[in-house]
Structures are given as C-alpha cells and as structure tokens.
C-alpha cells in the first residue's frame, strides 16, 4: 500500500514537473509573439497619426511625448526579449545538463527524459530562429540613446520656458527630436537585418539532415 502511494506521488510529481516545463516554454513563445506584435502594431498606429496643429503644450510640440513613448516601447521590448532569452538559456543548458547526467537518467522515467529532451530541442530551435538575446541587446542600446535624447529635449524646453538668450526655437527642438527618432528607426531596421543575417548564417552552417 505504501509502495503504491509512493509510486503514485512520484508519477504525480513527474507530471507536475513536465507541465511546469511546458508552461515555461509556452510562456516564452507567447512572450516572443507579444514582443513582435508590440513592435509592429505601435509603429503602424503612430504612422497613421497626423497632427499639424501647434498647441500650447511644449512636450507635444517638441515631440517629447513621442520620444518618451519610444523609450517605453524599447523598454518593454528589452524586458520581454531578455526574459525570453533567459528562459530559453535555462531550458537549453540547465535542463540539458541535467538530462546529460547519469543521476537524471536513472531517477527519471524514460517518458519524462524524452519529454524534457523535446523541450531542450524546441528551446534550441526557438533561440536559433528568433534570437531574443540579440533583440534584447539592440533594444537596450536604443533605450540609452532615447534616454539621452529625452535629456537634451528637456534641457532645450527648460531654456525656452525660462527665456534663456541662447534658447532654441520650439521648431528647432522639434526637428532635433524628429531627427533622433529617425535615427532610432534606422537603428532598429539595421538591427532586424543583423538578426536575419545571423539566422541565415546559422542555417547555412547547420549540418545537413542525414
């Protein structure tokens, strides 16, 4: 009776572990899809918004609000990408290392070992095809550039509000913000091309199927 209870608990624990691992993997996939949806949906919505009317809001007229939105977007991309990269790395190396040990091979049933092996393989494929680590590094760089641009615009607006002699016009500040946003967009396109090139290189260097 006790032996049967022990076996039942062991099987239940194995199932729970398997579900947890699969949950982590599905969460990673959901995070990647949410990341790409955020990247492109926000750009489409912003490109369809046209406003040629000047207002009394210096933050709006100087495009400071647009720059702040770009900072928050890149911050969200960095969080999702870095989290996905960390989860995939955990699945590849930690779970893969455990499976390679003789202890795991003996302690876990063959079905569990096979399932975890599939998780490790899927994690490796997802990492190779999406490269969230590269997206995270690029988003972090754009965050720093955007933060620097925000500080420059805030300094210009401070000078305008206080009537400093050397203060630029609001139009000049707006042009500076527009140029900075254009540079960020160009950097994002170059980053996406670099990721695509890296993925293509990985595909070419991969050994052919037997």
For residue 95, the model assigns a pLDDT of: 82
Nearest 5°: phi and psi at 40?
-90, -35
For residue 22, the model assigns a pLDDT of: 54
> Exposed, middle or buried: residue 122 (CB in 10 Å: 0-12, 13-18, 19+)?
middle
Average pLDDT over residues 127-136: 89
Residue 183 CA, chain-centre distance (Å), reads: 20
* Residue pLDDT, tens place only, 166-189: 889 999 999 999 999 999 999 999
* Residue pLDDT, tens place only, 97-125: 877 777 777 777 877 878 888 888 888 88
* Residue pLDDT, tens place only, 51-99: 555 567 889 999 999 999 999 999 999 999 999 999 888 888 888 887 7
For residue 210, the model assigns a pLDDT of: 41
| Residue 40: closest CA among 190, 187, 138, 185 | 185
Residue 163 in tokens: 């009537």
Confidence band for 207, pLDDT divided at 50, 70 and 90: low
Residue 3 in tokens: 């032996």
User: What's the chain's average pLDDT?
Assistant: 78
For residue 147, the model assigns a pLDDT of: 97
Spatial CB neighbours of 197, under 8 Å, sequence gap ≥ 6: none
Residue 33 CA, chain-centre distance (Å), reads: 10
More confident: 143 or 201: 143
């Amino acid at each position: 009776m006790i032996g049967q209870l022990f076996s039942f608990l062991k099987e239940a624990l194995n199932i729970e572990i398997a579900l947890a691992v699969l949950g982590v993997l599905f969460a990673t996939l959901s995070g990647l899809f949410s990341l790409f949806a955020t990247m492109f949906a926000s750009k489409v919505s912003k490109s369809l918004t046209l406003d040629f009317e000047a207002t009394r809001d210096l933050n709006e007229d100087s495009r400071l609000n647009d720059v702040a939105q770009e900072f928050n977007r890149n911050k969200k991309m960095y969080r999702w990408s870095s989290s996905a990269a960390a989860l995939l790395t955990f699945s590849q190396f930690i779970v893969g290392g455990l499976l390679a040990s003789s202890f795991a091979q003996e302690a876990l049933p063959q079905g569990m070992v096979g399932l975890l092996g599939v998780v490790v393989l899927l994690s490796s494929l997802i990492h190779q095809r999406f490269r969230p680590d590269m997206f995270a590094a690029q988003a972090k760089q754009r965050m720093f550039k955007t933060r620097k641009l925000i500080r420059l615009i805030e300094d210009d607006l401070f000078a305008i509000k206080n009537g400093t002699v050397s203060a630029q016009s609001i139009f000049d500040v707006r042009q500076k913000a527009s140029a900075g946003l254009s540079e960020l967009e160009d950097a994002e396109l170059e980053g996406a091309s670099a990721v695509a090139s890296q993925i293509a290189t990985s595909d070419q260097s991969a050994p052919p199927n037997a």
